[in-house]
């Protein structure tokens, strides 16, 4: 029989694809079912954040930071606000710090629930998606109670908060903690330890530690590879040093350390740790005025500041340069998902097409954060 002629196939995945978590385009080079090369093509959601920031006053930039990584808007606000506060050199009231920590951790839970739900959806399990969104809805109710918005809040102001919390919020948060603990176990039973899910994710897309560090991967994606690195502990900001929590890493409970399953399970573990932080913070909120330190006019002296924070997706930082005027001279965002995505080519090679979907989902990317 004559030799079969084979040739490389170029396959286009996205920008309209249900598993690319937005409008990402992946150009796959295939050898049969095996992936030889993955090239992410970006820019389908480039919304000109950095250019916008130059035309806005400092407080006006906050709504735009919300829309960068829209699944965890609070963390984006926090990073930007901390950066500007450092530039201004103002002291923040204790009450504000505590509320900020509670809000950031609630947002972390909401973000991880989206990550877990959509990841199950990528694997073909639709039920966990419904359960996760049901729980996320409860978290969003709390946000709505405080600031009126469900997703994009504009809640953290420079020097304070837009609204104070109510006693009702505290009782509802305590109820939520009680409600969520068994629900996380339920999601774990439904998805994390499901045999089919483990088959799809364990030993797939192993991210070696040196590759991860060289590419600047951070957050649960890095911790999935077994590195205990969390900015809340290692370069602490706000008042995170006052709380007792653990940094969760992938331990190879199933599969190998650094594979998709370990990256995924770190998020499930982290929800529990966030609940612990909220539990500790909710009883200690001191009295005070949340707007006492809000400056009338934000006009920092010329200079620059860089603050990095641990967002649910990893290291999120804002670099703000001031020229002494009312508008920032430059705002640069160090986007988490962009760095996390950069390793996809290296770790997808040699896997099947269906595994690329799982590898992409395990990084929990948000295109608003990548393209800005």
List residues near other proteins by CB under 8 A. Answer: 15-18, 22-23, 43-48, 51-52, 55, 63-64, 67, 70-71, 114, 117-118, 129-131, 133-134, 136-137, 140, 150-152, 367-368
Nearest-angstrom CA–CA distance, 161 and 168 = 18
The distance of closest approach from Cβ of residue 113 to other proteins in the complex, given in angstroms and rounded to an integer, is 11
Residues 71 and 148: beta-carbon distance below 8 Å: no
CB of 191 to other proteins, least distance (A): 15
What is the closest distance, in whole angstroms, from the C-beta atom of residue 63 to other proteins in the complex? 7
**Of 18 and 324, CB closest to other proteins:** 18
Cβ closer to other proteins: 52 or 276? 52
Shortest gap between Cβ of 14 and other proteins (angstroms)? 9
CB nearer to other proteins: pick between 20 and 305: 20
Minimum CB separation from other proteins for residue 54, in Å? Answer: 8
Q: Which is nearer to other proteins, 93 or 117 (CB)?
A: 117
Nearest to 151 by CA among 139, 159, 134, 163: 139
- Closer of 232 and 372 to other proteins (Cβ): 372
CB 118 within 8 A of CB 184: no
d(CA 206, CA 347): 6
Question: Of 367, 368, 343, which Cα lies nearest the Cα of 356?
Answer: 343
Q: How far is the CB of 17 from other proteins (least distance, A)?
A: 8
Query: Nearest approach, Cβ of 290 to other proteins (angstroms)?
Result: 24
Strand partners, 310: 315
Q: How far is CA 51 from the centre of its chain?
A: 23
185 HSE (CA, 13 A, CB side): 4
Query: Nearer to other proteins by C-beta: 11 or 55?
Result: 55
The minimum distance between CB 125 and other proteins, in angstroms, equals: 14
Shortest Cβ distance from residue 23 to other proteins (Å)?
A: 6
Our CB check for other proteins shows the closer of 64 and 245 to be 64
Question: Which CB sits closer to other proteins, 290 or 316?
Answer: 316
Contacts of 134 (CB under 8 A, 6+ apart): none
Question: Rounded to a whole number, what is the largest CA-CA distance in the chain?
Answer: 85
Q: Closer CB to other proteins, residue 144 or residue 304?
A: 144
Nearer to other proteins by Cβ, of 19 and 273: the residue is: 19
Q: Write down the least CB distance from residue 130 to other proteins, Å.
A: 4
């Amino acid at each position: 029989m004559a030799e079969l002629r084979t040739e490389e196939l170029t396959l286009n995945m996205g920008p309209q694809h249900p598993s690319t978590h937005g409008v990402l385009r992946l150009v796959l080079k295939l050898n049969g079912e095996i992936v030889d090369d993955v090239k992410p093509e970006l820019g389908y959601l480039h919304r000109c954040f950095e250019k916008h920031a130059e035309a806005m006053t400092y407080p006006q930039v906050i709504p735009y930071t919300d829309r960068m990584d829209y699944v965890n808007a609070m963390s984006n606000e926090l990073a930007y606000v901390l950066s500007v506060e450092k530039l201004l050199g103002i002291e923040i009231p204790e009450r504000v710090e505590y509320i900020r920590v509670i809000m950031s951790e609630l947002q972390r839970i909401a973000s991880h629930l989206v990550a877990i739900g959509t990841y199950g959806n990528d694997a073909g399990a639709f039920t966990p998606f419904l359960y996760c969104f049901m729980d996320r809805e409860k978290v969003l109710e709390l946000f709505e109670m405080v600031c009126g918005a469900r997703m994009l809040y504009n809640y953290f102001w420079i020097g304070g908060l837009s609204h104070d919390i109510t006693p009702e919020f505290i009782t509802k948060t305590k109820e939520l903690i009680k409600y969520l603990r068994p629900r996380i176990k339920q999601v774990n039973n439904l998805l994390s330890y499901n045999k089919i899910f483990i088959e799809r994710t364990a030993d797939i897309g192993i991210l070696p530690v040196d590759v991860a560090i060289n590419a600047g991967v951070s957050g649960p994606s890095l911790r999935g590879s077994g590195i205990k690195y969390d900015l809340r502990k290692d370069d602490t900001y706000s008042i995170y040093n006052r709380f007792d929590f653990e940094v969760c890493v992938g331990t190879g409970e199933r599969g190998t350390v650094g594979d998709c399953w370990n990256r995924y399970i770190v998020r499930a573990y982290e929800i529990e740790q966030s609940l612990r932080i909220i539990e500790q913070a909710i009883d200690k909120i001191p009295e005070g005025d949340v707007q006492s330190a809000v400056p009338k006019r934000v006009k920092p002296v010329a200079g620059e500041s860089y603050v990095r924070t641990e967002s649910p997706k990893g290291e999120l930082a804002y670099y703000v340069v001031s020229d002494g005027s009312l508008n920032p001279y430059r705002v640069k965002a160090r986007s988490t998902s962009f760095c996390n995505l950069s390793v996809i080519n290296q770790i997808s090679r040699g896997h099947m097409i269906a595994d690329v979907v799982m590898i992409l989902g395990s990084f929990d990317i948000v295109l608003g954060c990548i393209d800005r």
